[in-house]
Amino acid sequence: MNPLLSRLQPYPFERLRQLFATVTPSPDYPAISLGIGEPRHATPEFIKSALTAALGTGLASYPATAGEPTLREACAAWMQRRYGLELNPATQVLPVNGSREALFALAQTVIDPTRAGATVVHPNPFYQIYEGAAFLAGAQPYYAPSDPSRNFAVDWDSVPDDVWARTQLLYVCSPGNPTGAVMPLAEWQKLFELSDRHGFVIASDECYSEIYFRDEPPLGGLEAAMKLGRTEFRNLIALTSLSKRSNVPGLRSGFVAGDAALIKPFLLYRTYHGSAMSPVVQAASIAAWNDEAHVVENRRMYREKFAAVTPLLSAVMDVALPDASFYLWAGVPAFWQGNDTAFARELLAQYNVTVLPGSYLAREAAGHNPGQGRIRMALVAETAECLEAARRIVQFILSRG
């Protein structure tokens, strides 16, 4: 067996299952889960229709790993409308089967494990695929902590120079999961300078880019590069997904865009890995990228939900409306003395509401787990259900004085 497999950590939901194994949820309340970050708004009908219409011819041949030119053009056209970017669909865009597999596969393409101390830097807390991708590529992850005093911006300055020197890949996540923080241009500039100095690749995970609460849409990685005159996007690749934007997590569709010198070897890797997108999925994806009305409506629903739920919770715990994403990243009240797992267990036992302990989304580094004492709440259910969960959480917290 590949010995690197033994380095993979249990997924947060597996740890949650174990945490709850000895808890009896209160039978007085119907179960509500804010645990899993899976979109639950309805999939638009026109996307389903495009999928079924493609069944006629779509299953009869092997798809090319590069995808149909029409799909790549639709992706590039969306990047143009959203960020003002002029990308070459043939060389700077590549469809992927959701951003998760692409985040993973990119590390396998980029990392040279024969170079001493191969390192992947990523935020802490973080989306667990970054760490697993680093391990299986033969690299060591370095956990860069997010700073609660700066709207959970990642403290890149805390990464020592000798770590940057051996870094081959940096994952950034903006808007962030679980913090919702959006990276401003100055932060991008700092990372581009570090990448230029040390030669590492930046993978920009942008799958929450369309769910935002401020007037201004989140800055994209390629957009930041363009604003700073980096028109070739050297060593930069952005990963975008339909899952959250269009409520199609089951479609498995997204794309990567950026440095053509990275896209080319990535396509080669993917050809051998066998990760071509089904023509049926490609047809549905073209329809989804070409439409913005459903995205505006989706965002409106999240905004309405967050506007209703956040004030209830912020009255009793340390939580605020994030820049973007569909998570609330809340501090547990002092009564629990930073014990996020105890909070989650007691809440389930007394009010049948599931939340995810923040410590499961982060790693202890330099003696500190930056997720400790926080919980992540995914507001993916309908507003009424999220409101009901929030009311129960308020009652739960108030019952402890």
Ligand X SMILES: Cc1ncc(COP(=O)(O)O)c(C=O)c1O
Per-residue x/- marks for ligand X, 230-249, CB under 6 A? -----------x-x-----x
Q: Which of 288, 312, 357 is nearest to 75 (CA)?
A: 288
Phi, psi of 25 (to 5 degrees): -65, 145
The distance of closest approach from Cβ of residue 169 to ligand X in the complex, given in angstroms and rounded to an integer, is 15
The tokens 């990275």 sit on which residue? 262
Report the residue from 177, 204, 247, 282 that binds ligand X according to the rule CB under 6 A: 177
Phi, psi of 286 (to 5 degrees): -60, -45
Report the residue from 105, 153, 181, 205 that binds ligand X according to the rule CB under 6 A: 205
Binding residues with ligand X: total (CB under 6 A):
13
**Is residue 98 a contact point for ligand X (CB under 6 A)?**
yes
The distance of closest approach from Cβ of residue 101 to ligand X in the complex, given in angstroms and rounded to an integer, is 7
**Is residue 378 a contact point for ligand X (CB under 6 A)?**
no
**Strands of 167-173's sheet in order across:** 93-96, 254-258, 236-241, 201-205, 167-173, 119-124, 140-147, 153-154
Stretch that binds ligand X, among 8-16, 98-106, 115-123, 345-353 (CB under 6 A): 98-106
The distance of closest approach from Cβ of residue 243 to ligand X in the complex, given in angstroms and rounded to an integer, is 3
**Is residue 122 a contact point for ligand X (CB under 6 A)?**
no
The distance of closest approach from Cβ of residue 306 to ligand X in the complex, given in angstroms and rounded to an integer, is 17
Distance between CA atoms of 176 and 206, rounded to whole angstroms? 8
> What residue type is 270 in one-letter code?
R
Stretch that binds ligand X, among 96-104, 140-148, 226-234, 300-308 (CB under 6 A): 96-104
**Is residue 294 a contact point for ligand X (CB under 6 A)?**
no
Helix, coil or strand: residue 144: strand
Write down how long the chain is: 401
The distance of closest approach from Cβ of residue 208 to ligand X in the complex, given in angstroms and rounded to an integer, is 7
Distance between CA atoms of 335 and 250, rounded to whole angstroms? 40
**Is residue 376 a contact point for ligand X (CB under 6 A)?**
no
CA distances from 254 to 100, 242, 282, 289 (A): 9, 6, 10, 10
Which residues fall within 8 angstroms of residue 25, CB to CB, at 6 or more apart?
A: 31, 348, 349, 352
Site for ligand X in 333-352 (CB under 6 A): none
Stretch that binds ligand X, among 22-30, 93-101, 161-169, 194-202 (CB under 6 A): 93-101
Closer residue to ligand X in complex, CB, 177/235: 177
Closer residue to ligand X in complex, CB, 14/162: 14
Report the residue from 65, 99, 179, 204 that binds ligand X according to the rule CB under 6 A: 99
Closer residue to ligand X in complex, CB, 109/243: 243
Q: Which of 146, 180, 178, 216 is nearest to 323 (CA)?
A: 180
State both tokens at 274.
Answer: 């066998």
Stretch that binds ligand X, among 74-82, 83-91, 97-105, 382-390 (CB under 6 A): 97-105
**Is residue 100 a contact point for ligand X (CB under 6 A)?**
yes
Stretch that binds ligand X, among 22-30, 94-102, 265-273, 337-345 (CB under 6 A): 94-102
CA angle 254, 120, 194 (to 5 degrees): 95
Closer residue to ligand X in complex, CB, 37/89: 37
Buried b (16+ CB within 10 A) or exposed e, 5-28: eeeeeeebeebbeebbeeeebbee
The distance of closest approach from Cβ of residue 327 to ligand X in the complex, given in angstroms and rounded to an integer, is 9
Which residues fall within 8 angstroms of residue 110, CB to CB, at 6 or more apart?
A: 137, 168, 169, 201, 262
Ordered DSSP codes for 1-37: --GGGGGPPPPHHHHHHHHHTT----TTS--EE----
Report the residue from 16, 75, 94, 207 that binds ligand X according to the rule CB under 6 A: 207
The distance of closest approach from Cβ of residue 214 to ligand X in the complex, given in angstroms and rounded to an integer, is 19
**Is residue 37 a contact point for ligand X (CB under 6 A)?**
yes
CA angle 175, 319, 371 (to 5 degrees): 65
**Is residue 41 a contact point for ligand X (CB under 6 A)?**
no
Q: Which residues bind ligand X (CB under 6 A)?
A: 37, 98-100, 127, 173, 177, 205, 207, 241, 243, 249, 254
